[in-house]
Amino acid sequence: MSLQQLNSLSSPLSQQQVDSLKQLTASMSAVELSWVSGYLAGISQGGNVAASTDSAPAGKLTVLYGSQTGNAKGVAGEVAAKATELGINVDLVSMGNYKAKQLKSETHLLVVVSTNGEGEPPDDAIQLHEFLGGKRAPKLDNLSYSVLGLGDTSYEFFCQTGIDFDERLAALGAKSVVARQDCDVDYDDDVASWTIQALAAVQETLSAASTSTAVASAGVGATSSQFTKKNPFKATLLANPKITGRGANKDVRHIEISLEESGLTYQPGDALGVWFDNDPALVSELLSLVSIDASNEVTVNDQSIVIESALIEHFELTQLHPGFVSAYAAATNNDELLALSEDKDATREFIGNRQIIDVIRQYPAAITAEQLIGALRKLTPRLYSIACAMSEVEEEVHLTVAVVDYQAHGHQHQGAASSYLAHRLEEDSQVRVFVEHNDNFRLPAPEQSTIMIGPGTGIAPFRAFLQERDNTDASGENWLFFGNQHFTDDFLYQVELQDFKERGVLNRIDLAFSRDQEQKIYVQQRIVEQGSDVYQWLENGASVYVCGDGSQMAKDVHQALLDVIQTHGSKTPEQANEYLINLRDTKRYQKDVY
């Protein structure tokens, strides 16, 4: 029963007690609320905390997660909460806070981990990932485990980190009690199935505690509002002005959204999840090409709905993936598409700059509504780095969004979410949002200095960082490397950054406008140019943050930092790499890349 429902019923609690209970539970996670529920139930039956805890068996389940954007963390939290409901003694722990030597004392382990880029583990999983593949990893003959991997079939190394953990645990003697589950971006059904099987397997060999405990070692987010990915808040769009000039090649919007009365809170470094509707014009064209009447009904989430509404509200129509190519090939029985779908490399190249509509335009054919729906992924929200601090904007949230808009295959293409925010969503209308907490991208202590590297829309979290450092009177210095195409048209938040510089909040700023001269200049070159000072800041304890494009920019910046450390620290390439690894492991080198 919610506290809102509690208020409406005849209750033995006074209003003051209800208010106190609201205040107490507002900051709790789902896992902690489940524990409190068991705690209060124990008290109501004449027990007490000590008795409940002392009677619990030594055995427990550990749910370990490695998460870059927050999806794996959210799934792991749901798994731990479900385990708690079943009476299982469970620890929920981030891999970034987990001591690897604890592995040899574990008996039951569930691993939830995402995969980044080219098969790489998320930042908080790197250390444990390396440990399990190293010579110091212990024998784990007494460990029962299962792995759930999150990934994207559009990438070559789908769920590679989950595969790595599964194989390495098995090689160390651990027993897999449920087969590894590799999840695509539409993972809800697979997660639910794996959770049921994995927890059932745990229960077979692990005695349940009468009152279970749960430890969220990674820390709970700034809030546990009732609004989540599955239950988003209907916020109000306040403004979406364009902040690039007329001559800019990109349309970048500063999005302002009201969170009033939501209870949602966030910290600098967090992201905002945005649910969106697809473009009705795109849906109309798509249905015409496959000869499906817009009023045909299909079943979505056990409910009957007309296919036009289903495509607008429930299915992914822009991001193409190999699964759609093979499913559409089978539905149309097109020989060319069938041959293509059998060649993984060719398929991956084919989908590179295409959207779903491009495949259908190239190979139009009459198919059934069920075949079309069966080929599509469920719609997933987009995550945007939050570009403000609550200490500055209170019950608002700001985003910096580049509108995806390009010409290809004879047609104009737009990004589903970015065009929704910029063009199809009117001011004062509602947008469904939730906060995705990112514990892997956090400001350091107020006295520590920061080096922030954020070209393009990668500036977003650093606007939040600077607002927070300003409002909390942090004594550490701040250095920003910002780059874009042109100074005149693409200097995002120029006036604000200049104000931060003039007031001493921003101590240094180095700019790289790539197309303002014949030879292109990027932020990584500015880092190398200022290498002596960059290295000195690092030696003096500064933390480094990188936000933006992960496919190329982040790699170039990483190499630039290695070059700086090697040159100005008089280190070998191996020593420079160890230096950066140490920064990463001590959370002084953090990335928010996409």
Q: What is the pLDDT of residue 204?
A: 87
Mapped onto helix, strand or coil, the DSSP state of residue 406 is: strand
Q: What is the pLDDT of residue 149?
A: 97
Q: Which of 21-30's residues contact partners 24+ apart within 8 Å by CB, and which partners?
A: 26/223, 26/224, 26/263, 27/220, 27/223, 27/224, 28/220, 28/224, 29/77, 29/216, 29/220, 29/221, 29/224, 30/77, 30/78, 30/81, 30/224
Nearest alpha carbon to residue 312 among 270, 282, 336, 269: 282
Can you say whether residue 291 is alpha, beta or left, with left for phi > 0 and alpha for psi between -120 and 50 degrees? left
Nearest alpha carbon to residue 485 among 457, 451, 516, 461: 516
Q: Is residue 60 within 8 Å of 207, Cβ to Cβ?
A: no
Dihedral angle over CA of 184, 549, 444, 571, nearest 10: 110
Mapped onto helix, strand or coil, the DSSP state of residue 115 is: coil
Q: What is the pLDDT of residue 68?
A: 86
Tokens, residue 302? 């056990």
Q: Is residue 84 within 8 Å of 36, Cβ to Cβ?
A: no
- φ, ψ dihedrals at 544, nearest 5°: -110, 135
Q: Is residue 57 within 8 Å of 87, Cβ to Cβ?
A: no
DSSP annotation of 421: I
| CA 380 vs CA 187, 188, 315, 425, 471: distances in Å | 10, 10, 8, 18, 35
18-216: CATH number: 3.40.50.360
Q: Which helix (H) or strand (E) holds 65?
A: strand 61-66
DSSP annotation of 531: H
Tokens, residue 418? 């970015």
Tokens, residue 376? 């599509």
- ∠ CA 513-519-524 to the nearest 5 degrees? 55
User: What's the CATH number of domain 233-276+381-436, 2.60.20.30, 2.40.30.10, 1.25.50.20, 2.60.40.10?
Assistant: 2.40.30.10
CB atoms within 10 A of CB 309: 17
DSSP annotation of 122: P
Q: What is the pLDDT of residue 53?
A: 33
Fold of 280-375: NADPH-cytochrome p450 Reductase; Chain A, domain 3 (1.20.990)
Tokens, residue 165? 């953990």
Q: What is the pLDDT of residue 56?
A: 34
Q: Please state, in angstroms and rounded to a whole number, the distance separating the CA atoms of residues 115 and 151.
A: 6
pLDDT values of the chain reduced to their tens digit, one per residue, 594 residues: 444 443 443 444 555 555 555 555 554 444 444 445 544 444 333 333 333 333 333 479 999 999 988 889 999 999 999 999 999 999 999 998 898 889 999 999 999 999 987 889 998 999 999 999 998 899 999 999 999 999 998 888 999 999 999 999 999 999 999 999 999 998 989 999 999 999 999 988 875 443 344 444 443 334 456 899 999 999 999 999 999 999 999 999 999 999 999 999 999 999 999 999 999 999 999 999 999 999 999 999 889 999 999 999 999 999 999 999 999 999 999 999 999 999 999 999 999 889 999 999 999 999 999 999 999 999 999 999 999 999 999 999 999 999 999 999 999 999 999 999 999 999 999 999 999 999 889 999 999 999 999 999 999 999 999 999 999 999 999 999 999 999 999 999 999 999 999 999 999 999 999 999 999 999 999 999 999 999 999 999 999 999 999 889 999 999 999 999 999 999 999 999 999 999 999 999 999 998
Tokens, residue 246? 């007329």
450-593: CATH number: 3.40.50.80
CB atoms within 10 A of CB 298: 21
Q: What is the pLDDT of residue 496?
A: 98
The full set of domain ranges for the chain reads 18-216, 233-276+381-436, 280-375, 450-593
In single-letter form, the type of residue at position 477 comes to E
Q: Please state, in angstroms and rounded to a whole number, the distance separating the CA atoms of residues 589 and 564.
A: 15
CB atoms within 10 A of CB 2: 8
| CA 260 vs CA 162, 394, 397, 433: distances in Å | 39, 9, 10, 12
DSSP annotation of 94: E
Whether 233-276+381-436 and 280-375 share one fold: the answer is: no
Task: Give the up-direction half-sphere exposure of residue 91: CA atoms within 13 A in the CB hemisphere.
Answer: 18
Q: Please state, in angstroms and rounded to a whole number, the distance separating the CA atoms of residues 269 and 222.
A: 12
Q: What is the pLDDT of residue 336?
A: 96
- φ, ψ dihedrals at 506, nearest 5°: -100, 110
- ∠ CA 513-518-523 to the nearest 5 degrees? 30
- Cβ partners under 8 Å of residue 136, min gap 6: none
Nearest alpha carbon to residue 160 among 136, 125, 195, 110: 125
Work out whether strand 252-258 and strand 233-239 pair parallel, antiparallel, or are unpaired: antiparallel
CB atoms within 10 A of CB 272: 25
Cβ density class 532-570: b for 16+ within 10 Å, e for less: eebbebbeeebbbbbbbbbeebbeebbebbbbbbbebbe
Q: Please state, in angstroms and rounded to a whole number, the distance separating the CA atoms of residues 485 and 520.
A: 9
Q: What is the pLDDT of residue 226?
A: 86
Give strand pairing partners of 148: 112, 181
Report the Cα–Cα distance between both ends of the chain, in Å, rounded: 39
Q: Is residue 409 within 8 Å of 351, Cβ to Cβ?
A: no
Task: Give the up-direction half-sphere exposure of residue 84: CA atoms within 13 A in the CB hemisphere.
Answer: 26
Q: Please state, in angstroms and rounded to a whole number, the distance separating the CA atoms of residues 549 and 402.
A: 12
Nearest alpha carbon to residue 77 among 87, 64, 61: 64
Work out whether strand 297-300 and strand 303-306 pair parallel, antiparallel, or are unpaired: antiparallel
Q: What is the pLDDT of residue 213?
A: 45
